[in-house]
Amino acid sequence: MPSTSTARPNWLAGGLSAVWLVVVGVPILSMIVWGLTTEQAFRDAGPLAVPQVWTLGNVTEVIDRGFLDYYWNTAVVTVGSILLSLVLAVPAAYAIVRSKSWVAGASFRMFLLGLAIPAQAVIVPLYLIITEMGLYDTLIAVILPTVAFTLPLVILILSGALRDVPRDMYEAMTLDGAGSLRILLSAVVPMSRGSISAVCVFVGLTAWNSFIFPLIFIRDESKTMVTLGLREFQQEFAVDIPGLMMAVLLSAVPVFLLYVFARRWLIAGLAGVGGK
Amino acid sequence: MTAPRTIPRRTFLAALGAGATALATTSCSDDSNGSQAAADLDSAGDPAQASGELDVWVLQEDAVNPVSRASLDRFFGGTDVKANLITEPNESYRDVLQTIIDQDERPDIFFNWGGGSIRSYVRAGLVEDLTPYLEEDSEFKNAFLQSVLQAGQIDGAYYGIPMRTMQPKLMFYNTALFDQVGLEVPTTWQDFLDAVDAFAAEDITPVAVGAADQWPLLMWFEYLTDRLGGAQVFQDIAEGTGEGWAHPAITRTVETIRDLVDRGAFGDAFASVAYDDSGPLLSDGRAAMMLSGSWEYTNFLEDAPGFVTNSLAWGPFPALEDGEGDPENVAGNPTNYFSVHADSPLKEVAINYLKQEMASDTYVQDLLDVGDIPAVANIETLIEGHEHEEYFGFVYAMAANAPNFQLSWDQAIARPQAQPMLEAMENVFLGNLDAEGFVQANEDAAS
Amino acid sequence: MGYVLPAVVFFTVFAVVPLVLVVVLSFTSWPGFGDIRWTGLDNWERLIGDERVRESTGITLALTASTWLTQTPMAIAIGVWAAGRQRNRAVLSTIFFLPLLMSSAAIAVLFHRFLDPNYGMARDLGPLIGFPDGNILGTAHGAFLVIVFVSAWQWVPFHSLLYQAAARNVPTVLYDAATIDGAGRWDMFWRITLPQLRYTVVTSSVIMIVGSLITFETVLLITGGGPGGATRILPYLMYSAGFEAFEMGYASAIATVLVVVATAFSLLIVRFSGFTKMRSTLEGM
């Protein structure tokens, strides 16, 4: 509740927050501590104590098992998905907001209904389509459905922002003789920078975390993404808990760095996804 | 190994009018592998008389792949046949084979697990029947362990030639813990029960089992059913003959397992244990016994070499005093097989390759060197002097002397029934299903 | 304007066509290779008589209900609290939102290890929460609670964020007026904050419910649908039928049920809270 309401401490909310702090903090702290010790030291200390040996050796171990390839593939999918999303959605949102034709209105309604399609549920026909297109076992097979299933929300976010662009501005530019493409690139894109950030965050995180698409569409180990790589590690490391914890930790490092250096942007983007 | 693959199922989509234009633009056919059409047919199977490319599909395994490669080079070296060894990771092998088996990129020779793993392909006419070749050449047939060869039969015919290690399931023991309670490693069921009670009383988990992954439970069902009712019981289940799941031996198996769980044979948290953690329970001295595949030895060597030297023992599944099954019967993965694609233009050459190479001394020796125990007859002399002679000799003898080598149930029955069966087994262990419920669940899945 | 067409075509090929195809495939038999055969109503007759489908539907609904009932109050409480602007709140919220940075797969792998009775914390922490042997994942209710808990751990931060943003937008004048009336903090929460958050509740609930219907990685990586099928939710059953048993036709029938349930839920919430209001919130995003 806004601080203006009262100066009295809010014991209930504070208490709940303390509980949540423990719930979130303990697993994350354990992961970090366990990931920085050796298998033997971990076994000697047990899961609840602070281990006696500290090492970065698990990092090498995880990288030796091909983690850098997984990073690279994940990065390709993430960047590819973001770019394709923007290329498709920015013009579409612009058309939806500006055009008076029934096509634009119908498209918007289609995307609205598309919000409710669960991607997992159509994985079998997607598999059929992907194999049919000869895309099986390529990173493109992950990018295309990822973009498709984020498109409805992306278009909602962008068209919401474009509606806020003053109508006079479009008209003024049109009078100046600017073509629609120029209006799009020189006015619309800069003015909806905030929503474009939100789209990047949303599509980026969805792609970064994608699991079922690479699970079904990728078989070559050298094309595996970080998420699926963790599943491999779960079996390979087995009782080498420190090794596995380091892998989990490393899987989150890029997003964590983003959080550290661009926290406001990331959080604003995430909040923008749900609407304000 | 990653040739682009297209599946010309376009007619189906086109019939639906579903985005056909979008699909057509991106679909491209793969002509790089036109060799199969160009290959010369050669009935004698002499590689020197043939030409073309021969694709051999195997699991991606660092140790075994070079052995296969060397074997192909021996047979095809200097001929006009280019033999490609195409490797696929274990997790995706079935899926990829499934996708490709009826396409232009299909393999000529392919690795498989026999049984349910190729039954649908056999029935679709995609796998060459090898029975005539084995029948006309007794030397070829007798080169392999007959129990293993038979385990690969489908509908009474042979479709696979054993190509690598056998993986019977057997008992592993931690002798340090047996010393601690003053017992010998069990040979009979009564010994086993005594050991269970003794360890339970000492608060040591008697038997490690990774129940959270379901499939490790299968081994207990396989052996108990076999020991109690004989090999025919499951044979009937797999083929849908006789009493099927309703056989009294299944009921007794379920009751025996319930009794073991109630005695605390598997400890109190077995249902939370993953398979990967169950081996370490034995080598860590937290559990005294374990039923697992022969591959477990390799895991122990890798993770706990000291344990292998000091306190690892092994033996067959205990004999049940009042059971009808032969105590020499074995359950497990009899072996992996090479099958030949029925549409391969180099079929005869491929079969001749299997005939010449799969039981050759060089091939067998190469496999032994990487830790595989092939299902080839009379290789005791080759095993002698091996680094792990004791273990290898035991496993080989176990398989060689087995009157029946039962393929793992989940591989032997139709795939759609496997998951419900494993789940029902887990529910028996958890105490959620009694014998009647177990039989019912499996019959429901089969209908 | 042609600007909308690429997006529409793309969405049609990869989302609308699959949606139609999943229904079509439910009337066929297809093992993932070779021909697709029409089998009429076979899959549907089997589905109606399939005990496992019934169980899975029940589990899915129970999981969805539990998810909503646990996550919504927590997310509102944390979101409203985090909307405050004191210094310690900023620091604490930084920690609160950490789970957002991890993938479902990473979170599942993490908790799977924590919950191992021999090598994880389950034997030490289990007794505190009613599992004396540390056998949490091995019991039906334990495994179910784990899935609910892990989902909450992962998703409460995201929903808190939505509520935080919404709570910050509540006009201060409303609170000022109430303070003059002598209303307490509790009163103000019920009379001002919560009503002001109602559109966010709808948005968050739709995301939460549709999301929990398709919880998949968490189940696959932590329980594998076990023990004994206790967490075998519909998406897992569909995956298992399609990509383990290679009965793509039957998997499609299960998927169709899933689509229908998900759509019904979204429509119900939207209707319950007023369709036009919902649309205007969405459009106003």
What ipTM is given for this predicted complex? 0.88
The whole-angstrom distance between residue C69's C-alpha and the CA centroid of its chain comes to 12
Residue C243 has pLDDT above 80, yes or no: yes
Cα B437 to chain centroid distance, Å, stands at 28
Domain map (residue ranges) of chain B = 33-166+334-377, 168-333+408-446
DSSP 8-state symbol, B51? E
How sure is the predictor about C285, in pLDDT bands with cuts at 50, 70 and 90? very low
- Residue B145 gets which letter from DSSP? -
In a domain, C224, yes or no: yes
Backbone torsion region of residue B19, taken as left when φ is above 0, otherwise alpha when ψ lies between -120 and 50, otherwise beta: left
Which residues are CB-contacts of C268 (< 8 A; sequence separation ≥ 6)? none
Neighbours of chain A (3+ CB pairs under 8 A): B, C
Element (H, E) at C63: helix C51-82
Cα(C72)–Cα(A146) distance, integer angstroms: 27
pLDDT in tens, C168-219: 888 888 888 888 888 787 888 888 888 888 888 888 888 888 888 878 999 9
In a domain, C249, yes or no: yes
- With an 8 Å Cβ cutoff, are C247 and B416 in contact? yes
The candidate with the shortest Cα–Cα distance to A88, out of A148, A28, A23, is A148
**What is the interface size between A and B, counted as CB pairs within 8 Å?**
55
Phi-psi sector, C37: left (phi>0), alpha (psi -120 to 50), beta: beta
Note the pLDDT of residue C190.
Answer: 86
pLDDT in the model for residue B44: 62
The two beta strands, B330-333 and B167-174, are: antiparallel
Q: Do B19 and C241 count as a contact with CB atoms less than 8 A apart?
A: no
* Percent of all residues in chain C with a pLDDT value above 90, rounded to a whole number: 46
Where along chain A do its domains lie? Answer: 11-58, 66-237
Token readout for B154 is: 């489908």
For A66-237, CATH number? 1.10.3720.10
Q: Is the Cβ of B261 closer than 8 Å to some Cβ of chain C?
A: no
Per-residue model confidence as pLDDT tens digits over C62-101: 999 999 999 999 999 888 888 876 667 777 778 888 898 8
Give the pLDDT confidence of A182-211 residue by residue, as tens digits. 777 777 778 788 888 888 988 998 999 999
Cα–Cα distances in Å, from B352 out to B91, B347, B355, C269?
30, 9, 5, 67
In a 10 Å sphere around its CB, with 0-12 CB exposed, 13-18 middle and 19+ buried, how is residue B436 labelled?
exposed
When pLDDT is cut at 50, 70 and 90, the band that residue A10 belongs to is low
Instruction: Classify domain B33-166+334-377 at the CATH class level.
Output: alpha beta
> Three-state DSSP class for B385?
coil
Identify the pLDDT of residue B239: 81
Cis before B186 (ω within 30)? no
pLDDT digits over C37-64, tens only? 899 999 999 999 998 999 999 999 999 9
pLDDT of residue B145: 92
Beta strands in B336-436 (DSSP E): 337-340, 405-407
Provide the whole-model pTM.
0.84
> Which residues, other chains included, contact A261 with Cβ-Cβ below 8 Å and sequence gap of 6+?
none
3-class DSSP state for residue B57? strand
Nearest-CA distance C148 → chain B (Å): 17
Across the interface, whether the CB atoms of C138 and B274 are under 8 A apart is answered no
Provide the CATH number for the domain around residue C252.
1.10.3720.10
Q: Is residue C272 part of a domain?
A: yes
| Sequence-distant contacts of A105-109: CB under 8 A, at least 24 apart | A107/C4, A107/C7, A107/C8, A108/A155, A108/A159
CB contact under 8 A, B26 and A134: yes
Q: Per-residue confidence at A39, pLDDT binned at 50, 70, 90?
A: confident
B98 interface with C at CB cutoff 8 Å: yes
Whether residue C7 lies inside any domain: the answer is no
The boundaries of the domain holding residue C226 are 52-283
Number of domains in chain C: 1
Contacts of A112 in chain C (CB under 8 A): 279, 282
- Say whether B168-333+408-446 and B33-166+334-377 share the same fold: yes
pLDDT tens-digit map of B275-328: 988 999 999 999 999 999 998 988 888 888 899 999 999 999 999 988 899 999
How confident is residue C276, by pLDDT bands cut at 50, 70 and 90? very low
Lowest mean pLDDT among A214-218, C139-143, C185-189: C185-189
C275 is a domain residue: yes
Q: How much of chain C exceeds pLDDT 70, in percent? A: 94
Nearest CA in chain A to C201: A274
CB contact under 8 A, B272 and C13: no
Instruction: Say which CATH topology domain B168-333+408-446 has.
Output: D-Maltodextrin-Binding Protein; domain 2 (3.40.190)
Beta bridge partners of B112: B337
Residue C34 belongs to a domain? no
Measured CA to CA, the distance from residue C191 to residue A222 in angstroms comes to: 57
User: Contacts of residue A259 in chain C, CB cutoff 8 Å?
Assistant: 97-98, 101
Which residues of chain B fall below pLDDT 50?
1-43
